[in-house]
């Protein structure tokens, strides 16, 4: 039977043969895909990270900005704030992706990073009505094939939950400007709280950083009634912390996880292969998720 499955995925999902694709256990991936295919689109929902998962990591050798980095625009923040945010990025991003540290070690440092950046942003009195222009002027870019991904899920009415430690207001503007903010899209993220004059005064709710998505997933589970009765999950992320985004799903049946390994490839390859079902190495496209969706829906 396995040999037949092999043939099927090869012909049905040729994208899985790309050399950027790594799998610890190909047979498990195939079995999961076929269980999901049998259950159909009505049993499926998709949970995805945003920065460096739905957006590209780099383009033409240049890093693509995350939602926080899109805010680095003179319309919103001054030079001093730019410099301080860059210093924080240079200090904390290497910690975030360090293969030699445990999540327990990283966690308090991530809280520090996000807290400091949010304090800096609040000091800048960012105006809500300038965000759209900053996104327009930025080099934000979704992965190649993102339109097929978003449009297909919308067409099938498969809920897409975007779970991001970035800035929700900026994230929404990026997907709106790319014409993919369809009604099936739900966002959990750090949202800005503006005063009555439209000036940033705080961030709403519990802070979300890269390594506390589990708590966010559990606390939001109850309000996302649309996801109930959809026990199959396709999960996309670029950080090991993203794996906990499905922890709020009640009675999951099949969960297929895809990890984009963008940076520190050699150092992190082993842990990614051991943690995600499918690992995509320096792949700036949505080809594999699109191929899987085409097969299971």
Catalytic residues: 49, 51
Least Cα distance to 134 among 100, 99, 177, 195 occurs for: 177
Q: Choose among Mg ion, ligand TMP, none what residue 66 binds, the Cβ cut-off being 5 to 8 Å by kind.
A: ligand TMP
Report in angstroms how near the CB of residue 82 gets to ligand TMP at its nearest.
Answer: 11
DSSP β-bridge partners for residue 160: 46, 185
Distance of alpha carbon 109 from alpha carbon 107, whole angstroms: 5
Instruction: Please spell the DSSP secondary structure of 52-98, one letter per residue.
Output: TTTB-SEETTEEPPPHHHHT-STTT--HHHHHHHHHHHHHHHHHHT-
Contact flags string 234-253 toward Mg ion, x per CB under 5 A: ----x---------------
Q: Confirm or reject binding of residue 210 to ligand TMP (CB under 6 A).
A: yes
Q: Confirm or reject binding of residue 284 to Mg ion (CB under 5 A).
A: no
Contact flags string 14-53 toward ligand TMP, x per CB under 6 A: -----------------------------------xxxx-
Q: Confirm or reject binding of residue 283 to Mg ion (CB under 5 A).
A: no
Report in angstroms how near the CB of residue 112 gets to ligand TMP at its nearest.
Answer: 10
Size of the site for ligand TMP (CB under 6 A): 17
Helix H or strand E encompassing 220: helix 213-220
CB 217 within 8 A of CB 245: yes
Q: Confirm or reject binding of residue 160 to ligand TMP (CB under 6 A).
A: no
Q: Across 109-228, where does the E strand assignment appear? A: 160-167, 185-190, 192-194, 200-203
Choose between 170 and 249: whose C-beta lies nearer to ligand TMP: 170
- Angle (CA) 287 288 290, round 5°: 65
Residue 99: other Cβ atoms inside 10 A:
13
Q: Confirm or reject binding of residue 85 to ligand TMP (CB under 6 A).
A: yes
Residues of this chain that interact with ligand TMP (CB under 6 A) are: 49-52, 66, 68-69, 85, 89, 96, 113-114, 117, 164-166, 210
């Amino acid at each position: 039977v396995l040999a037949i499955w092999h043939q099927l995925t090869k012909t049905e999902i040729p994208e899985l043969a790309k050399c950027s694709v790594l799998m610890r256990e190909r047979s498990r991936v195939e079995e999961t895909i076929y269980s999901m295919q049998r259950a159909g689109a009505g049993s499926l929902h998709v949970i995805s990270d945003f920065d460096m998962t739905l957006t590209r990591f780099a383009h033409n050798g240049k890093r693509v900005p995350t939602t926080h980095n899109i805010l680095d625009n003179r319309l919103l923040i001054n030079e001093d704030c730019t410099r301080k945010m860059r210093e924080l990025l240079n200090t904390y991003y290497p910690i975030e992706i360090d293969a030699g540290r445990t999540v327990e070690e990283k966690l308090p440092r991530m809280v520090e990073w996000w807290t400091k950046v949010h304090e800096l942003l609040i000091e800048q009195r960012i105006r809500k009505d300038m965000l759209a222009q900053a996104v327009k002027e930025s080099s934000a870019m979704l992965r190649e094939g993102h339109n097929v991904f978003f449009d297909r899920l919308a067409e099938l009415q498969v809920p897409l939950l975007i779970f991001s430690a970035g800035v929700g207001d900026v994230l929404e503007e990026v997907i709106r400007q790319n014409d993919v903010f369809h009604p099936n899209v739900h966002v959990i993220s750090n949202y800005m709280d503006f005063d009555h004059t439209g000036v940033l005064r705080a961030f709403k709710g519990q802070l979300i950083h890269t390594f506390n998505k589990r708590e966010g997933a559990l606390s939001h589970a109850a309000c996302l009634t649309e996801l109930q009765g959809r026990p199959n999950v396709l999960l996309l992320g670029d950080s090991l912390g993203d794996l906990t985004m499905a922890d709020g799903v009640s009675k999951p049946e099949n969960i297929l996880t895809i990890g984009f390994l963008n940076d520190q490839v050699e150092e992190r390859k082993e842990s990614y292969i051991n943690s995600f079902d499918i690992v995509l190495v320096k792949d700036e496209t949505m080809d594999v998720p699109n191929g899987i969706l085409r097969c299971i829906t």
